[in-house]
Amino acid sequence: MSFALDIGNFAKKCGAASDQVVRKTILDIGKRVVERTPVGDPEYWAHPAPPGYVGGMARGSWSHSIGTLDAKVIETIDATGGASNDRISASVPQKAAGLVHFIQNSLPYIQRLEDGRHSRQCPPGGMVAVTVTEFQDMITKAVGELK
């Protein structure tokens, strides 16, 4: 059985509560991935930063889509991650269960960041891979917070 079918079956069994759980889980995934994305710091670089360099492009380029992966490159400087978190939050519908959701970053170097080849600041194991290991705990927590 596919993940999408599992979510669909979950939605049918749980009704409106499933929308809350799915929405919270997606927002938690987005927040964790955004927060784990390193912000460029020229102090760690072997070569000087280009003139006018400001870090935060990778962190500012996360987004959410439904149904299909959105390969559009978002070039937003966002060292805090607030713009990405707001963008993700605004795009997740209240009725989120039963849909296929994607959290993505289409910058050309994002895979190198994930793999640790482009930054010594990236958490061991990457931003996405570590978050995936926490998926079940996020769902359990979201279910536990239902009123």
- Residue 66: beta bridge partners? 101
Question: Domain residue spans in the chain?
Answer: 3-141
Where residue 72 falls among pLDDT bands split at 50, 70, 90?
very high
Asked whether the predicted pLDDT for residue 1 surpasses 60, the reply is no
> Each residue of 6-62: pLDDT tens digit?
666 655 666 778 899 999 999 999 999 999 999 988 888 888 999 999 999 999 999
Q: In angstroms, rounded to a whole number, what is the distance separating the alpha carbons of residues 118 and 96? A: 34
What pLDDT does 86 receive? 98
Amino acid at 10: F
What's this model's pTM, rounded to 2 decimal places? Answer: 0.84
What pLDDT does 118 receive? 65
Q: Looking at residues 112-125, what average pLDDT do you find?
A: 75
